[in-house]
Amino acid sequence: MNEQSQEGALALHQRIQAGELSALEVLDNTFATIEKLDPQIEAFNCLTKDFAYKTAEEVDKAIKAGQRLPLLAGVPLALKDNIHLKGVKTTCSSKILENYVAPFNATVTNKLCEHMIPVVGKTNLDEFAMGSSTENSAFRKTKNPWDLSRVPGGSSGGSAAAVASGQTFISLGSDTGGSVRQPAALCGTVGLKPTYGLVSRYGLVAFASSLDQISPFASNVQDIAAVLQVISGADPLDSTSLQNVPPMDYLASLDKPIEGLKVGYITELLEAGLQPDTKAAIESAMKTFESLGAKVEPVSLPNLRYAIASYYIIATAEASSNLARYDGVRYGSRLNADKDILQMYLSTRAQGFGDEVKRRIMLGTFSLSSGYYEAYYGKAQKVRQLITNDFKNAFNQFDLLLGPTSPTTAFKIGEKSSDPVEMYLSDIATIPVNLAGIPAISIPCGFDQQHLPIGLQLIGPHLSEAVLLQAASAFESKTSLKNLHPQTLASV
Amino acid sequence: MAGALTTQTQYETVIGLEVHVQLKTQTKLFCACSTQFGVEQNQNTCPICLGMPGVLPVLNRQAVEYGILAGLALNCGIALITKFDRKQYFYPDLPKGYQISQYDLPVCHDGYLEIMGQKIRILRAHLEEDAGKLVHAGAAGLAGSTHSLVDLNRAGVPLLEIVSQPDMRSSEQARLYAETLRNIVRYLGVCDGNLEEGSMRVEANVSIRPLGSETYGTKTELKNMNSFRSIQKAIDYEVARQTELIDSGERVIQESRLWNEATGTTASMRSKEEAHDYRYFPDPDLRPLEISPEWVERIRQAMPELPLQRLNRLQEEFGLSEYDASVLVELKELGDFFDEAVEHTSHYKALTNWLMGDITAYLKNNHKNLEDTRLTPKNLALMVQMVDSNQISSAIAKKILPDLIETGTAPDMLVKEKGLIQNSDESQIQQICQQVIVENAEEVAAFRSGKEKLFGFFVGQVMKASRGTANPEVVNRLMRELLKG
Ligand SMILES: [Zn+2]
């Protein structure tokens, strides 16, 4: 594995700025690590060496010219393969977009360019970000770096595994129902889902528009704060991006003590279905927070039990609509082009989409159908409001809420893939956060008996990222659970 | 049958119109592409209106403003909160697989227009994006074509769909409603109102019911009427067709029917009934839009004059007859021209006569629009003034009109160039008159023996000899004196 990864992204950036390391050297090292490790991990769909080296050259040129580098310049980053990098394929790990080359940059990608952050490759995901294990990719099964027989979580499994295995220092994923926090938990990395609208969605291929949010992975909280600093901000191209958010310095408050912070642990998430080791780790984390001077008390969010049902109606409804554009007419694969238009549609979509995507399109189409709309979509929206209110009420009493990220640690590849409902249930702790549009972070809080990482989830109110990061940073300092990489990989 | 009496059922026609007007914004409804008409296929496209993966819509506020403006002119209420919904169906001219439209919170609601003394209620007016266009290759239409091409220049162009209640009772009323609507959107400057080019599209929902019945009959939806005349004709045809069906004991099928201008008939568009389920739901990419009363008020304040207001003003301010005023209102550019010309002359009636008479005839004969010529309101007004002050006769004015229209040269310059300035010099005119009398001794004798009709002949001869420049009044007076002997 890459030795530089022990230091983290910011430390590396500072060494580049100081002239101790050139960006080119860092990149050479990164690609060497990828070549060594990725045949086992399979985190990447493709590498973007040309783009990365061009960026690294810019960095080194700037250093030579004595310029001050922008934040994180020169630090290699992996991009989930549903975020556009102009001139490079965006496949969404789907056959239907297997050869689709992005004609423009995502807004976040433009920000990465402005910060001279080399994108080294596009990472694997569950097809169109639909899944919790990255097994739904049409191309490859990404492995969990801590145990290659296990899943990395999903849907941003490739981005999580790339950081956990030390192939890159930071990466971007997208979190619709936990697609960044859950793989972060399963891979022992940090993953932050920002407030809905804090990061532009322009150039992120939509799964469920009202829930999707581009979200970073890193090996420690400080690096996460730095990436958030780079990618956040209002975007005129995204009508749902938040306007008038005062500029924040997410790095500034990281070291502040959290004494007196009121933390509520969500009782519903510590009950049924939680693995004993995970439960123990969460309870231990609560004690850690108390030792840091926080007040930890129970809080109930009674409508949480309807979250999964509500989520799978809203997310699939939006997905069924967002994925209608893959019809073979303008781009993407096209089958049976010599037949009539209906045959072309049917063949293109039947062959182009995988089972899980088709399942969700059908669910969503059904719940929006005339006669069913009120009973399903309409009701799901009402439940969404109830859940949002539950959180609001809780935040009247507490600064932050706490719970597990995932009820279990990483499961075996193939273990749940035959039972979609069981797979859906594993998102119970993360989904409510997307429904409410609020921020949450997953940080490592220990290991189970098989030495698989366990994730702790901290949830904050609207735009509370600074406090979330501050609390996560305090926890991280106290437990030293950061920059975790499986040692076994070093001998691969 | 008892008494062998056949009582012909009397039917009432029920018509509602759905009118799409293309809003004249510079850019499309949700992206920055130009809305310019007639450019190369797919030139006005970008990833957003092509429905590429990862794009997002951004609402064009000008389109909303135009929508509000039209709504106010149609006496509509303006929504405080409006939102956009996805109307979903698959078709190759619809890039995203859904059209962004408005379902339950349209920007305008509950208005009306007065047509033939009756209020025609308007249910709603909502914003939506247009679809693209299919071009079928290898044949005139879809049938027989080998493949189809997609032109997405129009995809995403903003439309305002104005939906009336089924309040119209005759095809004439429907035509007038459509014409009135066209005039209003043109006066507001929000739409060209061109049915042939498709910047305004009218669909008619037509049904019939026994006179006095309270319930509606089964309606058909008529499409493809490319002129106001064909709206009326299509409805007439459809009413006759439905009447015949019902009279012969058959049923009207609810369906869309295409008007065929060449055959003068309507034909069913689809072989089988398609019950579309558009699965409308709120577009999660666009936040609901709040429309502040202040914004609406600003738009209301800036509202230009409407056709009805101009009709009244032209009569009151300039004393025009209702007919003259209505002609100037009907053709907005004629009315605009009039309004500019009255800055330079107070001979309103003469001005109106020129505009409605010789100028309209000239344009018609030469297949031109007023705005395509070089005629300026000021030049026309000057010419009217010259006629009034006897600088030229109306005959000369008519003579120079084509040049006035085509060259844009001022009328005094034209008259000078052509040596056509009116001559009122009595001694010169008397000389010509005497010459005419000498040269036409026979006619003079006939006149003097009572054939007074010949007087016009003598005047004509004088005018001819003076190449039309002699002041006709002077000619008349002198000639009469001379002929008396
Ligand atoms: Zn466009």
Are B107 and B147 members of one domain? Answer: yes
Question: From the candidates A83, A92, A199, A321, which should be mutated to test the interface with B, based on the most B CB atoms within 10 A?
Answer: A321
Task: Among B418, B439, B459, give the residue marking a domain's end.
Answer: B418
d(CA B289, nearest CA chain A) in Å: 11
- Give A369 to chain B, closest Cα distance, Å: 5
Are residue B231 and residue B318 in the same domain, yes or no? no
Residues B366 and B241 in one domain: no
Could you tell me the two tokens for A297?
């008390």
Q: Any idea which residues of A carry the catalytic annotation?
A: 80, 155, 179
Torsion-angle region of residue A216: left (phi > 0), alpha (psi -120 to 50) or beta? Answer: beta
What is the rounded average pLDDT of the residues B108-120?
96
Q: What is the DSSP string of A253-282?
A: TTTS--TT-EEEEEGGGGSTT--HHHHHHH
Residue A324 shares a structural domain with residue A252: no
Give pLDDT, residue B395. 83
Centre of ligand 1 from the C-alpha of residue A383, in Å: 36
What backbone phi and psi angles, to 5 degrees, belong to B451?
Answer: -85, 75
Is the residue at B375 inside a domain?
yes
Using the CB atoms, write b or e for B7-26: b if 16+ within 10 Å: eeeebebbbbbbbbbbbbbe
Does residue B54 sit in the same domain as residue B161? yes
Give the pair of three-digit tokens for residue B141. 């239409």
Residue A462 contacts B, CB cutoff 8 Å:
no
Same domain, B174 and B26: yes
**Bridge partners (DSSP) listed for residue B99:** B87
Domain match, A337 and A452 both: no
- A324-358 pLDDT, tens digit per residue, is 999 999 999 999 888 888 999 999 999 999 999 99
* Residue finishing a domain among A325, A346, A366: A366
CB contact under 8 A, A237 and B57: no
**pLDDT on residue A1:** 46
Statement: residue B6 has pLDDT above 60: no
Is A153 found in the same domain as A75? yes
- Chain A contact probe: residue of B55, B103, B290 with most A CBs at under 10 A: B55
- AA letter at A120: V
Compute the CA torsion angle B87, B93, B96, B100 (nearest 10 deg): -40
Give me the CATH number covering residue B456: 1.10.10.410
Contact list, A102 vs chain B (CB under 8 Å): 54
Is position A391 within any domain?
Answer: no
Give the pLDDT confidence of B433-443 residue by residue, as tens digits: 989 988 988 88
| A88 and A167 housed in the same domain | yes
Give CA–CA dist A393/A266, Å, rounded: 13
Q: What is the ipTM of this complex?
A: 0.96
Least Cα separation, residue B94 to chain A (angstroms): 9
Last residue of a domain, one of A320, A348, A366: A366
Domain boundary among B237, B265, B296: B296
Helical (H) or strand (E) element with B360: helix B360-365
Query: In this complex, is the C-beta atom of A209 within 8 Å of any C-beta atom belonging to chain B?
Result: yes
According to the model, what pLDDT value does residue B4 have? Answer: 46
Q: Is B470's pLDDT higher than 50?
A: yes
State in Å: Cα A368 to ligand 1 middle: 28
B245 and B145 together in one domain: yes
Q: Is A98 on the interface with B (CB under 8 A)?
A: no
Choose the closest CB to A377 out of B58, B281, B286: B281
Interface test with B, best of A325, A367, A372, A435 (most B CBs within 10 A): A325
B260 and B174 inside one domain: yes
How many angstroms separate the alpha carbon of residue A232 from the centre of ligand 1?
25
Query: What range defines the domain where residue A54 resides?
Result: 3-263+396-489
Looking at the structure of chain B, the number of domains it has is: 3
Whether B6 maps to a domain, the answer reads no
**Out of A209, A325, A368, closest to residue B284 by CB:** A209
List pLDDT tens digits, range B243-267.
Answer: 999 999 999 999 999 999 999 999 9
Same domain for B261 and B361: no
Q: Taking the CA atoms of chain B, what radius of gyration do you get in angstroms?
A: 30
pLDDT number for residue B394 = 84
Q: Is the pLDDT of residue B2 over 80?
A: no
Q: What is the CATH classification number for the domain harbouring A232? A: 3.90.1300.10
CB within 8 A of A148, min separation 6: which ones? A40, A41
pLDDT given for residue B3 in this prediction: 42
A382 touches chain B (CB under 8 A): no
- Which residue ranges of chain A lie beneath pLDDT 70? 1-6, 272, 490-492
Nearest partner of A467 among A417, A375, A415, A400, judged by Cα: A400
The whole-angstrom distance between A201's CA and the closest CA on chain B is 8
> Domain boundary residue among B379, B401, B418?
B418
Cα separation values, A487 from A1, A145, B98, B405, Å = 9, 10, 50, 90
Instruction: Give the structural domain span for B441.
Output: 426-484
CA neighbor of B434 nearest in space, from B387, B481, B402:
B481
Cis-peptide, bond into residue B321, ω within 30° of zero: no
The pLDDT score that the predictor gives to residue A477 is 96
A369 touches chain B (CB under 8 A): yes
What is the per-residue pLDDT across B296-316, written as a single tens digit (0 to 9) for each?
999 999 999 999 999 999 999
Residue with the larger pLDDT of the pair B107 and B398:
B107
Question: Mean pLDDT for chain B?
Answer: 92
Residues from chain A that touch B96, judged by Cβ atoms under 8 A, are 324-325
Task: Provide the pLDDT for residue B137.
Answer: 83
B54 vs A contacts (CB less than 8 Å): 82-84, 90, 102, 106, 202-206
The answer to whether residue B32 sits within a structural domain is yes
B460 or A52, greater pLDDT: A52
Q: Which of A205, A239, A365 sits opposite B53 (nearest CB)?
A: A205
Same domain, A39 and A131: yes
Determine the average pLDDT of the residues in B196-211. Answer: 95
Residue B470 lies in a domain: yes
Number of domains in chain A: 2
Q: Which residue of B has its CA nearest to A100?
A: B53
If asked whether residues A39 and A167 sit together in one domain, one would say: yes
The token pair at B103 is: 């379902």
Q: Write out chain A residues lying below 8 Å of B88, CB-based.
A: 321, 324, 368
Same domain, B214 and B102: yes
- In this structure, the answer to whether residues A133 and A193 fall within a common structural domain is yes
| Nearest-CA distance B142 → chain A (Å) | 11
Is A284 within a domain?
no
Q: What is the whole-number distance in angstroms between the Cα of residue B28 and the centre of ligand 1?
A: 7
* Tokens, residue B34: 């130009």
Tokens 């009469």: give the residue.
Answer: B480
Question: What pLDDT shows up at residue B247?
Answer: 93
- Who wins on pLDDT, B144 or A251? A251
Q: Phi-psi category of B344—alpha, beta or left, where left has phi over 0 and alpha has psi -120 to 50?
A: alpha
Mean pLDDT lowest among A474-483, B71-80, B414-423: B414-423
B71 and B162 belong to one structural domain: yes
